[in-house]
Structure 1
Amino acid sequence: MDDYVTYQAAGADTGKVEIALQRIVQLCKGTFDFRDSIGKPAIPIGHFSGVIDIGDGRAMAVKTDGVGTKVFIAQEMEKYDTVGIDCVAMNVNDILCVGALPISMVDYIAVQEPDPALLESIVEGVVEGCRQAGVTLSGGEIAIMPEMIRGPRENRGFDLVGMGVGIVSKDKIITGDTIEEGDKILGLVSSGIHSNGMTLARKAILGKFGVDEYVDELGRTVGEELLEPTNIYVSEIREMLDSGLDLRSLAHITGDGFLNLRRVSRDCGFKIDNLPKTPQIFELIRKHGPVSAAEMYQVYNMGVGFCIVLPADEVDSAMQIAEKHGKGCYEIGSTFKDPEKTVILEEPRLRSAGSQFVEY
């Protein structure tokens, strides 16, 4: 195990983040009494989006996220018009998880140098993401920070963050509190690495392959594969909800992988026993890191970008809707009673232990 490359060793110490979050969450909770009606949180912190009361039986989902070090790949490839899609995806997919309809985005772009062509290209990607998600881009901010923002290409350093909002009836908020034993888990396929674990991916493979190097297993260059935009799941999930399907839990599989299934209110476990074939990019990272199976599954989506928990008799209807919208969909597992909220991956024989996977 000591020979394996880890996310922490690559420079992303999520353990320290967890420690910080314990205190940060308490600080956030201290603000809840600042509002006694409109603006008061409608669900606890810890779900995929914050949700606040906006009156008249409605609530607003609020989310902010960025694309991390995927911006480095964009700089190395000198291709800036797709990371905006990722920025939108990271926000709207999380908004979906509480049952909300994403409606608008704003963005924040911090740049090393204010190059007009660079900025326009980035925002073109954001606009394309908004088109796919059916949301507006209602504003944003550009910050010029030459002392702080750096990157692999001189004067091309930038960071990209977005914030999205969505609307949901208070009685339609999804938190996983209605999950029953024996419910089925569906997995919607990812487009690849999406926007998480890029620091580990760069550590594992970019020392061995150049971004412009064609790799037979991928069928394209490493850079093209890493830059593939994150799937946006709005259209299929909204149709499932609008059609009356009983979606009991929704999970965006990002950082922490399938451990994200545990972000539910119900005391239940998740047994995953039928995963789709793992995309080649993950095999490349695992092999050339090398990276352990446990680390891979707690950092990456491993081919499943979004999970749905629903009753067994609604599986076929949900799968038909997903396929109608061009998304591969698999029945990957089921739920069971478990106060520990254990996630079991039958292959490669991993189970959750706190905030990580261990072999069993």
Structure 2
Amino acid sequence: MSEKNIELVRRSYEFYNSGDWDSLLDTFSPDVEVWPAPGFPEGGPFRGREEVRRFYEGLGEGWKPGAMVVPQELLGVGDKVLVAFEWRGVGELSGIEVTSAWSSVVTVRDGQIARADYFADRDAAITAAGLNKAAGREPGRGGPTYSSAGVDYGALDAGKRNALTEALATSHLLSSRGGSAVEESRGEPAFVFQFGGQTFAFVIEGLGTKSIIAGQVLEDLGENRFADVAYDTVAAIVNDLCCVGALPLVVNAYFATGTSDWYAHSDRQSELLSGWRAACEDAGATWGGGESPSLPELVSVPEIELAGSAVGVVPDGKQAILGSELASGDQIVFVASSGLHANGSSLARLIAGRLPDGYGARLPGGRTFGQALLDRSVIYARLVEALITSDVPVHYLSHITGHGLLKLMRPARDLTYRITSLPEVPEVLEFLVEQAEMSPSAAYCTFNMGCGYAVYCPPGAGQEVVDIAGRLKLGAHVAGVVEDGPRRVILEPNGVTYDADALDLTPRRTP
């Protein structure tokens, strides 16, 4: 029932944004009540369809056309739907773009919205919905979430978009050196630019908190896995770079520590450097150098932050892959991951802290939790090279990391990505999902869930992509298709749908 309620509420937002008042009112019961947030200037409550219509119509006053409500999260519990949303609009007189965060609790009865309560404070909405405040879940489940682990993608994505907006203003400086920015790459995994008749790509990426896991596994289990987290860092860098059809040329390292004493442990340092070199060799990239600052207070004393950058080149005669050729009917091929990869470490650490045996907890297959978390990521550079030098047209490439399968709709296109076959989920990810008590909707937008890379190709070409991956000993299968329709991801096997508003990494463009 909660899925039907969520779909009803989602449609009501669509009707509001399109100005289809009659259809919006049809989603409400005749005796509907709307309670604005405390202190809201319009007062309230508003009862009955006509009062509610006047309330919603009045919300657009003082804003330029196009102001809208953008749902960020919809969670159903019983007869209620908790909605976290943003109000986005441009002031009619000021011309200033405004984005503000709100929450609501919508009560559904007999297939219609009977009541809507609005809150400026999300915790108040969670309490009103009867959810556990700390976890945002049904009482008694208590599983940790990624946000409770300190990672709020809503805030992170907003920061990225703001930075990209400022970056756009500097594009002309590249032309003063004889180059040109490929603006369509803004918001893609790597920035693309042209210089000297060639097309290059540049990226910077970090590992996140996975190096903390390596340190704790060394301390608790006596296993030195710093080679593996170094490898993971390079994988995160070059896999993003390759998404735009560029092959890595040079990778630089960034090793930041809380104290230079970190390097006093020669075995730990040796593993770190050997893993970085091995990853560069597997990616076909030169290790150019890097930086290794000691940052007391900024970085915790026992830890090391791993990050880096890379420059790549699009082969002669090829174009950067930015999604412009994506079309209805294109096939989507999933290429297997090896496990956690570089995303989800903060939540994994939170879960380890809740387990009696910590990283020594045994998975059903017999390995420890810590061992499985540190399985090396897959580097897909050789696959991308094989694809773009073959006769298979590649219309888009997506590195499935943060945001999980939401990344399938990274292209800024009004297309639907329908997945009909999901990959086998690595044991360590199944364990994480179980321990965190995550719903399929939450799991598949947090972890890669067995898909490390997605390749989009013309109809009928999917099997050839699978064959090429197989020759490189990479598991792959044709997972779905691109369709005409609204921008969204549909995961048919588990009934999950992610709408366009769940992921937007493009620059903000004000009128």
Alignment TM class, shorter chain as reference: over 0.9
> AA paired with 2:154?
G
Task: Select which of 417, 421, 432 maps to 1:274.
Answer: 421
Q: Deviations 1:240-281 (Å, cap 9, x if unpaired)? A: 111121011100000011111222244321001101221221
SS in 1 for 2:293: strand
The CA distance in 2 between the partners of 1:40 and 1:281, in whole Å, is: 44
The CA distance in 2 between the partners of 1:269 and 1:159, in whole Å, is: 37
Q: 1:170 to 1:260 in 2, by over 3 A?
A: farther
Task: Select which of 88, 102, 111 maps to 2:248.
Answer: 102
Q: 1:266 to 1:20 in 2, by over 3 A?
A: closer
> AA paired with 2:322?
T
Q: CA deviation at 1:91?
A: 1.0
Once the two structures are overlaid, the 10-residue window that deviates more, 2-11 or 42-51, is 2-11
Q: Deviations 1:140-182 (Å, cap 9, x if unpaired)? A: 11101232221xxxx5311010101100158511011111211
SS in 2 for 1:99: coil
SS in 2 for 1:106: strand
The CA distance in 2 between the partners of 1:211 and 1:131, in whole Å, is: 34
* Aligned position for 1:60: 200
* Aligned position for 1:71: 211
Q: 1:20 to 1:214 in 2, by over 3 A?
A: closer
Once the two structures are overlaid, the 10-residue window that deviates more, 245-254 or 228-237, is 228-237
The CA distance in 2 between the partners of 1:34 and 1:316, in whole Å, is: 44
The CA distance in 2 between the partners of 1:224 and 1:211, in whole Å, is: 12
1:223 counterpart = 2:363: no
* Aligned position for 2:187: 46
* Aligned position for 1:349: 495
State how 1:173-212 maps to structure 2 within 5 Å: 173-208=320-355, 210-212=357-359
Q: Relative contact order (alpha carbons < 8 A, sep ≥ 6): 1 or 2 greater?
A: 1
Q: CA deviation at 1:316?
A: 2.2
1:157 counterpart = 2:303: yes
The CA distance in 2 between the partners of 1:329 and 1:149, in whole Å, is: 39
The CA distance in 2 between the partners of 1:313 and 1:50, in whole Å, is: 30
The CA distance in 2 between the partners of 1:174 and 1:315, in whole Å, is: 17
Q: 1:130 to 1:355 in 2, by over 3 A?
A: farther
Q: CA deviation at 1:308?
A: 0.4
SS in 1 for 2:180: coil
Q: 1:218 to 1:10 in 2, by over 3 A?
A: farther
The CA distance in 2 between the partners of 1:253 and 1:39, in whole Å, is: 31
* Aligned position for 2:47: none
Runs of 4+ that moved beyond 4 A: none
Q: Deviations 1:167-223 (Å, cap 9, x if unpaired)? A: 015851101111121111100000001010111122234421545525242431111
1:30 counterpart = 2:176: no
The CA distance in 2 between the partners of 1:312 and 1:28, in whole Å, is: 36
TM-score normalised by L of structure 2: 0.66
Q: Deviations 1:117-146 (Å, cap 9, x if unpaired)? A: 233321211101101111110111110123
Query: Over aligned residues, Cα RMSD in angstroms?
Result: 1.8
SS in 2 for 1:180: coil
- Gaps of at least 5 residues in structure 2 are 1-136, 219-223, 504-511
The CA distance in 2 between the partners of 1:252 and 1:4, in whole Å, is: 27
Q: 1:331 to 1:209 in 2, by over 3 A?
A: farther
Contact 1:218/1:225 (8 A) holds in 2: no
Task: Select which of 290, 293, 312 maps to 1:166.
Answer: 312
Contact 2:363/2:369 (8 A) holds in 1: no
Contact 1:247/1:310 (8 A) holds in 2: yes
- Pairs aligned (count): 351
Contact 1:275/1:330 (8 A) holds in 2: no
SS in 2 for 1:162: strand
* Aligned position for 1:213: 360
Once the two structures are overlaid, the 10-residue window that deviates more, 171-180 or 261-270, is 261-270
Q: 1:214 to 1:241 in 2, by over 3 A?
A: same
The CA distance in 1 between the partners of 2:183 and 2:166, in whole Å, is: 16
* Aligned position for 1:9: 148
The CA distance in 2 between the partners of 1:107 and 1:137, in whole Å, is: 8
Contact 2:363/2:431 (8 A) holds in 1: no
Task: Select which of 225, 229, 234 maps to 1:88.
Answer: 234
Contact 2:255/2:304 (8 A) holds in 1: yes
* Aligned position for 2:467: 320
SS in 2 for 1:299: coil
* Aligned position for 2:160: 21
The CA distance in 2 between the partners of 1:256 and 1:32, in whole Å, is: 28
The CA distance in 2 between the partners of 1:205 and 1:134, in whole Å, is: 35
1:235 counterpart = 2:382: yes
State how 1:276-291 maps to structure 2 within 5 Å: 276-291=423-438
> AA paired with 2:291?
E
Once the two structures are overlaid, the 10-residue window that deviates more, 212-221 or 188-197, is 212-221
Percent same amino acid at aligned positions?
A: 29
SS in 2 for 1:220: coil
Task: Select which of 405, 414, 419 maps to 1:258.
Answer: 405
Q: CA deviation at 1:55?
A: 2.2
Q: Deviations 1:11-59 (Å, cap 9, x if unpaired)? A: 1111111222232121111111222264432133111101111121x11
Contact 1:93/1:233 (8 A) holds in 2: yes
> AA paired with 1:228?
D
The CA distance in 2 between the partners of 1:123 and 1:74, in whole Å, is: 14
Once the two structures are overlaid, the 10-residue window that deviates more, 39-48 or 319-328, is 39-48
* Aligned position for 1:137: 287
The CA distance in 2 between the partners of 1:211 and 1:273, in whole Å, is: 36
- Gaps of at least 5 residues in structure 1 are none
